[in-house]
Amino acid sequence: MALKKGIKDLIAEAEKKSQGISADAAQARLGDPGTVFVDLRDVRELERDGMIPGAFHAPRGMLEFWVDPDSPYYKPVFAPGKTLILYCAADWRGVLAAAALADMGVENVLHLEGGLGQWKKAGRPVAEKPAHKEKA
């Protein structure tokens, strides 16, 4: 079966709609209260590979729901006024997610070029996934 568009086509289109940020530039924004690092990976990836310190975990499948203030799943961490740096393992999901948010009209969205793999390869800081908080 031939697809109309394969993943390479989708990523190429998404790259035209989104803006990347290098690991160097992203690391300079660690700890900046105006920046939110958003980890799009599956929870098993977080447990196995760690995550950027202070990042917010937003599974890729929920991102658009969590960003939209009209959604019952909205998360205040996505309130306007902050720069979002989206990342995954290799930046494929990051690019697609950044393009989706651009299509939604979300401003100040970047994707981490090379994803967590490039981040780690360059020796940048990685933390363990925070323990799940029990509901009271």
Total domain count for the chain?
A: 1
Tell me whether residue 79 is in a domain. yes
C-alpha 69/C-alpha 56 separation (Å) is 17
Query: Which residue segment(s) compose the domain that 27 sits in?
Result: 16-121
Q: Is the dihedral of CA 120, 130, 58, 3 positive or negative?
A: positive
Tell me whether residue 131 is in a domain. no
Tell me whether residue 10 is in a domain. no
User: Which CATH number fits the domain that encloses residue 117?
Assistant: 3.40.250.10
Tell me whether residue 134 is in a domain. no
**What pLDDT is attached to residue 136?**
42
Tell me whether residue 23 is in a domain. yes
**What pLDDT is attached to residue 46?**
95
Q: Is the pLDDT of residue 134 over 80?
A: no
Tell me whether residue 26 is in a domain. yes
End-to-end CA distance of the chain: 50
Tell me whether residue 133 is in a domain. no
**What pLDDT is attached to residue 1?**
80
Q: Is the pLDDT of residue 123 over 50?
A: yes
Tokens of 68: 């939209």
Q: Using one digit for the tens of pLDDT, what is the confidence trace for 54-102?
A: 999 999 999 999 999 999 999 999 999 999 999 999 999 999 999 999 9
Tell me whether residue 8 is in a domain. no
Q: Is the pLDDT of residue 135 over 70?
A: no
Higher pLDDT, 129 or 74: 74
